[in-house]
Chain A
Amino acid sequence: MSWRGAWAAALGVGLVIAGAARAAFPVDVPDDRGRSVHVAGPVKRIVVAGPLLFAQIVDELGIADRVVGVAESPEIPERFRAIPRVGELGAVSIERVMALEPDLVLGAYGPSRDGLEAAGLLVYTPAPADDIAGVLRTIEQVERTVLGESRAAPELARKLTTEVTEIESRVAGKPRVRVALLYPLPGSPPLTSGAGTPEHELLVRAGAENVFADTPKYHRVSYEEILRRDPDAIIVDPSELDWTRTNEVVSSLRAVRAGRVLAVRPSTWVSTRFPDTIRRVAAWLHPEAFSVPTPATASTPPAEARP
Chain B
Amino acid sequence: MNDQELVRSVISGNEKAFQVLVEQHQQMVLNTCMGLVHQRNDAEDLAQEVFVEVYRSMAGFRSDSKLSTWIYRIAINKSLNFIRDNKRRKLFRSFETIFGQGQPNLPSESSSDRPDRGLENKQRRERLHAAIDSLPERQRVAFTLNKFEDLPYQKIAEVMGLSLASVESLIHRAKLNLQKKLYKCYKKDD
Chain A bound to chain B? no
Instruction: Give A contacts to B, CB under 8 Å.
Output: none
Instruction: Give B contacts to A, CB under 8 Å.
Output: none
